[in-house]
Structure 1
Amino acid sequence: MTPSGSAAELRRTLAVGDAVVIGLGSMVGAGIFAALGPAARAGGSGLLPGLAVAAVVAYCNAMSSARLAARYPASGGTYVYGRERLGVFWGYLAGWAFVVGKTASCAAMALTVGAYVWPAQAHAVAVSAVVVLTAVNYGGIQKSAWLTRAIVAVVLAVLACVVVVCLGSGRAEAGRLAFGASEGAVGVLQAAGLLFFAFAGYARIATLGEEVRDPARTVPRAIPLALGIALAVYLAVAVAVLSVLGPEALGKAGAPLADAVRAAGAPGWVPVVRVGAAVAALGSLLALILGVSRTTLAMARDRHLPGPLAAVHARFRVPHRAELAVGAVVAVLAATVDVRGAIGFSSFGVLVYYAIANASAWTLDPSPAGRVVPVAGFVGCGVLAFSLPGVSVAVGAGILAVGVIAYGVRGRLGRL
């Protein structure tokens, strides 16, 4: 099939339920299986307050994103919003932060699949997962939505089992949930920054603005719905696991949910949790590839990335070249690099992305009441970003600086 040009539009097939499922597939994924341990290590008994802080910042970001998506129902998310509301450079910076950070997240999710399915061949399994899911996305967005729906159902069932096993075991103690003031604000904020990584999936709904029916109605409804469901799930799982392990043991756990069901006296559930983690990582990877490829499409349309990546397939109506390019880069990373350390950078990049979203939303309504949420979101993103480990902040700032330099060089060459 021959692709159409960059001016072609994507096919609008997704309803509210489909968009909510894609957002849930991004949020209720591998993050909840992996993020609780590092967050407990950073915040100790401040894990639950950290979750609350992350949820508040995520809510502000979600509301800002929903308002912007209703005004600008096109693929690209904050790349489009920043460009339209703040200027070309800020849109570019948001797109760069999203594409680079989330490409690293894609590789991390692929390696998570490999680590759970076949640890001895984690890289080979990771590459295979990337190839298969890229092929699924290539076949059309509706097929991706159906696969994501199945993945979300499996993951929610596994998480429900974890909650029931832990809270019903008789080994759960409410005293382990108590917050000690000795943990300090820094630990709580660092835990919130790490947990925010698991909330960031609702951006995928905004990046699909060109593929949902009636986007002015669908996107603003889908984003808070997906976020609210994810928060309820995270809170239930965090309470269940923390009440069994306690903050110290949870902070040392390599596989927190598997360790929790084992400590609850149900080792037979450990394989089920491992399968659930692998399926969750697949769901996250599927949605991440969707989101990165759509932002790549939007940036290529504006020639901030190579123009051929803006092509839309004539039959499947998907940005097939962008999807193949993203899949190829992720496959190379998954085959050659241990990207666990890139998760911190990914969180930094995502928080920069949402800071620009909030700044964009601030321009929509000049009234003080209309600016409360964007200001709170902007400040929250800044605080959490610079509360992350120093290495993550340094690497993140450095890679963003590379993007800024590339933008400047491109502008100078364009004027010659």
Structure 2
Amino acid sequence: MTRSGAELRRTLGVGDAVVIGLGSMVGAGIFAALAPAARAAGSGLLLGLAVAAVVAYCNATSSARLAALYPASGGTYVYGRERLGEFWGYLAGWSFVVGKTASCAAMALTVGAYVWPDQAHAVAVAAVVALTAVNYSGVQKSAWLTRVIVAVVLAVLASVVVVCLGSGASDAARLDVGASGGVGGVLQAAGLLFFAFAGYARIATLGEEVRDPARTIPRAIPLALGITLVVYAAVALAVLSVLGAGGLGHAVAPLADAVRAAGVPGLVPVVRVGAAVAALGSLLALILGVSRTALAMARDRHLPGALAVVHPRFQVPHRAELAVGAVVAALAATVDVRGAIGFSSFGVLAYYAVANASAWTLGSAPADRVVPAAGLLGCVVLAFALPAVSVIVGAGVLAVGVVACGVRRGLAGR
């Protein structure tokens, strides 16, 4: 239950919510996820993108239905708790907080890699500190900054698409999806590309800060997802048509390599700046969402109760934001970006599996259960199609969370 005096202020409209969702999805993922997806599936990454989009749509639909009924901070942590029981809500919250904290570190390191490769960790930590300060000062300022970042990134991506498709280096024969890595490769590519789609949950986790959530959230989530899918499809087609599956799979900075191969090397610095800005946008929204879920879990004593305090002036969960920022900064100073992304994907898919299971309980008619069932199945399949290391580490960390929950219940029962 929400404690008296700890409610957040409802200030965000549909436009703000869509922008925050876009800032989470149209981010660093599109600059980084295409290469490993191409290594897994070749040109079949286009099929992987379609599979990831279908799973994301199911998840978005389930999340929107649930958010309209439970417009409180915490997203699937709240939905799982209310529809399935306290344990499943806790598991969803644990998956989200841990997985997305790893994703925050990955985004921060992406900023460092593009801005100053030799000092990537130091730049990453500085980015976390700066954006934590922005979130601390209020969600409206965060939404305003996210709007600027989204505009810049969309402009850069549009330039990449126009340059690649308009060049003589573009060849439609490179788009042959038959040259793929098989079903397993396509599913692994879908799991990797899903990492870049997952930001629409940020809209649901802000359920306590949007105006008229029953109307705003169901409209904002599909809008943000649809715009993102169009952008990703255009970029994937353009880059693949220039580099081919082999070149894309071995590219360190695929979009920069694509514009160089298209004969416009002068655009490379712009693409690098766009990648850094995109990563900043993702990091901003990620810190925002993780701190809200931490707030909800702290209210229920699954995390320290001190994190449940809302700032009297800025109306944000400032202690949760500072705690999340500190953990992310520590990770950004020490971890490897590739491992962080793999683990994050597993955690996010586990989170959405609980969301779909929760949505399954909303109606008994077969038509009401088709989308949640497809979403649940898709999440499980994509999670276990990820690289083995990601699956093992992800399952291990979730198990740690389950044990911690059991210990807490045991101590409470004494």
Question: Structure 1: where are the runs of 5+ without partners?
Answer: none
Q: In structure 1, what is the Cα distance between the partners aligned to 2:341 and 2:180? A: 27
Q: Equivalent residue for 1:328?
A: 326
Counterpart in the other structure of 1:147? 145
Three-state SS of the structure 2 residue aligned to 1:370 is helix
Moved more, 172-181 or 348-357: 172-181
Find out whether 1:204 has 2:202 as its counterpart: yes
Aligned to 1:315: 313
Cα distance, 1:404 vs structure 2 = 0.1
Residue type of the alignment partner of 1:175:
A
Map of 1:2-401 to 2, 5 A cutoff?
7-180=5-178, 183-401=181-399
How big is the shift at 1:299? Answer: 0.1
Residue type matched to 1:284 in 2? S
Indicate conservation of the 8 Å contact 2:180/2:186, yes or no.
Answer: no
- Per-residue displacement from partner, 1:299-351 (whole Å, max 9, x unpaired)? 00000000000000001100000000000111111112223212111101100
- 1:14, distance to aligned residue in structure 2 (A): 0.2
SS of residue in 1 equivalent to 2:187 = helix
- Report how many residues are paired: 413
Contact 1:82 1:357 in 2 (8 A): yes
- 1:181 shift after superposition: 5.7
C-alpha displacement of 1:183: 2.5
Q: Please tell me whether the aligned partners of residues 110 and 279 of structure 2 are also in contact (alpha carbons under 8 angstroms).
A: yes
Distance 2:337 2:262 in 1: 31
What residue identity is the alignment partner of 2:50? A
What residue is the counterpart of 2:410 in the other structure?
412
> C-alpha distance in 2, partners of 1:208/1:342?
24
Could you tell me how far apart the structure 2 residues matched to 1:156 and 1:78 are?
29
Distance in 1 separating the partners of 2:137 and 2:171: 49
**Normalising to structure 1: TM-score of the pair?**
0.98
Which SS does the other structure have where 1:298 is aligned?
helix
By how many angstroms is 1:170 displaced? 1.6
Secondary structure, aligned partner of 2:42 = helix
Deviation per residue, 1:101-152 (Å, 9 max, x gap): 0001101101110110111111111111111100000000000000000000
**What SS is found at the alignment partner of 1:45?**
coil
Alpha-carbon separation, structure 2, partners of 1:171 and 1:184: 27
Deviations 1:13-72 (A, max 9, x none): 000000000000000000000000000000112110000000000000000000000000
Please tell me the residue identity of whatever aligns with 2:393: V
CA distance in structure 1 between the partners assigned to 2:335 and 2:187 by the alignment: 29
**Matched residue SS, 2:7:** coil
4+ runs deviating over 4 angstroms: 4-7
In structure 1, C-alpha distance between the alignment counterparts of 2:355 and 2:400, rounded to whole Å: 21
For the Cα contact (< 8 Å) 2:311–2:318, is it kept in 1?
A: yes
Q: What SS does the corresponding residue of 2:314 show, helix, strand or coil?
A: coil
Q: Which amino acid aligns with 1:396?
A: G
Q: Comparing 319-328 with 182-191, which one deviates more in the overlay?
A: 182-191
Output one character per residue of 1:279-305: Cα deviation in whole Å (capped at 9) or x when no partner.
Answer: 000000000000000000000000000
Q: Structure 1 6/294 Cα, relative in aligned 2: closer, same or farther at 3 Å?
A: farther
Rounded Cα–Cα distance in structure 2 between residues aligned with 1:7 and 1:99: 24
